[in-house]
Amino acid sequence: MSAANIFPPLEIPETIAAGPGPGNTDPRVLQAFVNTGLADHMHADVLRGMVECKHMLRDLWGTNNIYTYGVGGTGFSGLDVMLGAILPGDSVVAFINGTFSGIDGLTIRLKASTREELAANALDPQPASVTIIEVPHGQSVTGEIVEKALAEHKPKWAFMAHWETGSGRINDIRSFNDACEKHGALGLVDAVSSLGIEDFSIDDYPGIVGWASCPQKGVLCLPLTYAPVSFSDRYIAEVKANGCHSYVHNPILEARHWGVVDGQDVAAGGYHRTHSGYAVSAFHEALRITLAQGRTAKAREYAFHERALRDAVAAMGCEVTSNMTSLVVLNLPGVLAGREKELVQNCRAQGFGIWPTLSEPVQVRIGILNLVTREAITDIVARFGQAINDMGADVTVDQDAIRAQLDDYYQTALAAE
Ligand SMILES: *Cc1c(COP(=O)(O)O)cnc(C)c1O
């Protein structure tokens, strides 16, 4: 054995995380993580923390669903639990309008495939029971699209993303819910980007039986913690009747960690797998921060600052095509078309962490997760304007004029208070 594989200590620099996610974790959350003592996963305070998180999650989702808890991992971990109720041969209609719902569509195809269908194309199966409805990048899934597809296919399950982060588009969950109810489909929603940003209560959507989100976007708890999920009794009855091909991502078995057994709140406990007191503390603190501010106030704050950023980049000659309030997706001024990745790379090299879109056409994405202050938006706007000017193209951003417009926006808002 040589020692050649021992590397120097890993140092990761602080950047401005101005992308679609992860969001900038609050120092209070990081403090909660490091202030936690080592305790085993059966320690009374760890168990109590998990039960308290469960109750706070019900408030965050706006639900009385007993089966509301966190799944250890990233957003796709929670989605894997939710989509785990889909079994081989199940009929599904999935609406896809960007990178993330596209991956969800793949998960659905993997789960709904029969053994033969999986063997025929193991990594990208095309099961006959799944209908993928593709909506072009940059467009929302509308009520008409959903109604038409569910009326025609009458599937057992229907799937949609709430906020498609790949293209920055909000999809119509009200119409999705209504169509699910009308056509008897069980609705499943990827709420990875919307939970903790938009003010919505899932109990207002009874046709949607399963919801999944993530730790690192609106919940702002990147120290890899828990992906929030919530399932209605209707969904749980389905899993009880038909099962799920997983132990660790089983919607019913996973709930036991959080003190949910047989549809009842019970004291947590009983070993299933090892949860981390550090993660539980961090997650607990992140939920406390969001609930203390309140969903409504938080949603309003995002809308207000997104508007400032949107107007500023529009004044630079960019065309904004998104309608999410945590993310601005834009086309650069015409003379810079085709140079989006170059501009993004330049910004990233300077610690300004914006993103391109991952699906075509290539656009620029600027996110504001936990960057919702006048100072942060002003800094983002100045850096982005500079990045355009640094491209040396035949387009110049008048930074002073942009700054004056931004100041005016904030001054007017202050005066109105
Ligand atoms: C970010 C995102 C995901 C994936 O979340 P991870 O935490 O990266 O696993 C899935 N769906 C949507 C809509 C997202 O925005």
How many angstroms does the Cα of residue 367 sit away from the middle of ligand 1? 14
Burial label for 112, CB within 10 Å (0-12, 13-18, 19+), is buried
Of 71, 80, 83, 100, the residue with max ligand 1 atoms within 8 A of its CB, to mutate for a pocket test, comes to 100
100 in ligand 1 pocket by Cβ < 6 Å?
yes
Please report the atom of ligand 1 found closest to the CA of residue 164: 13
Please report the atom of ligand 1 found closest to the CA of residue 166: 15
Q: What's the first-to-final CA gap in the chain, in angstroms?
A: 68
| Cβ neighbour number for residue 170 with a 10 Å cutoff | 18
- CA-nearest residue for atom 10, ligand 1, is 100
How many angstroms does the Cα of residue 265 sit away from the middle of ligand 1? 29
Point out which residues pair with 352 in neighbouring strands.
Answer: 16
The structure tokens listed for 407 are 């100041």
How many angstroms does the Cα of residue 295 sit away from the middle of ligand 1? 20
193 in ligand 1 pocket by Cβ < 6 Å?
yes
192 in ligand 1 pocket by Cβ < 6 Å?
yes
Element (H, E) at 416: helix 399-416
Q: What pLDDT score was predicted for residue 1?
A: 55
Interhelix angle 277-293/44-61, rounded to 10 degrees, is 30
Strand 364-367, strand 355-356: pairing: antiparallel
Burial label for 34, CB within 10 Å (0-12, 13-18, 19+), is exposed
80 in ligand 1 pocket by Cβ < 6 Å?
no
| Claim: this prediction has a pTM higher than 0.95 | yes
216 in ligand 1 pocket by Cβ < 6 Å?
yes
Q: What pLDDT score was predicted for residue 296?
A: 97
Strand 163-164, strand 226-231: pairing: unpaired
357 in ligand 1 pocket by Cβ < 6 Å?
no
Please report the atom of ligand 1 found closest to the CA of residue 214: 7
Please report the atom of ligand 1 found closest to the CA of residue 216: 7
Point out which residues pair with 212 in neighbouring strands.
Answer: 190, 229
| Cβ neighbour number for residue 64 with a 10 Å cutoff | 12
pLDDT tens for the chain, 417 residues: list them: 556 899 999 999 999 999 999 998 999 999 999 999 888 888 999 999 999 999 999 999 999 999 999 999 999 999 999 999 999 999 999 999 999 999 999 999 999 999 999 999 999 999 999 999 999 999 999 999 999 999 999 999 999 999 999 999 999 999 999 999 999 999 999 999 999 999 999 999 999 999 999 999 999 998 889 999 999 999 999 999 999 999 999 999 999 999 999 999 998 777 778 999 999 999 999 999 999 999 999 999 999 999 999 999 999 999 999 999 999 999 999 999 999 999 999 999 999 999 999 988 899 999 999 999 999 999 999 999 999 999 998 889 999 999 999 999 999 998 988
Element (H, E) at 67: strand 67-72
How many angstroms does the Cα of residue 381 sit away from the middle of ligand 1? 25
The structure tokens listed for 191 are 């709420």
* Helix, strand or coil, per DSSP, at residue 198: strand
Please report the atom of ligand 1 found closest to the CA of residue 193: 15
Of 193, 322, 357, 369, the residue with max ligand 1 atoms within 8 A of its CB, to mutate for a pocket test, comes to 193
Q: Cα–Cα distance between 345 and 374 in angstroms, integer?
A: 25
- CA-nearest residue for atom 5, ligand 1, is 75
Q: Cα–Cα distance between 393 and 295 in angstroms, integer?
A: 43
Task: Quick: pLDDT tens for 30-70.
Answer: 999 999 988 888 899 999 999 999 999 999 999 999 999 99
Strand 157-161, strand 186-190: pairing: parallel
Residue type, 407: D
CB 98 within 8 A of CB 359: yes
Q: What pLDDT score was predicted for residue 3?
A: 67
- CA-nearest residue for atom 8, ligand 1, is 75
68 in ligand 1 pocket by Cβ < 6 Å?
no
Q: What pLDDT score was predicted for residue 190?
A: 98
How many angstroms does the Cα of residue 6 sit away from the middle of ligand 1? 33
The structure tokens listed for 263 are 């549809």
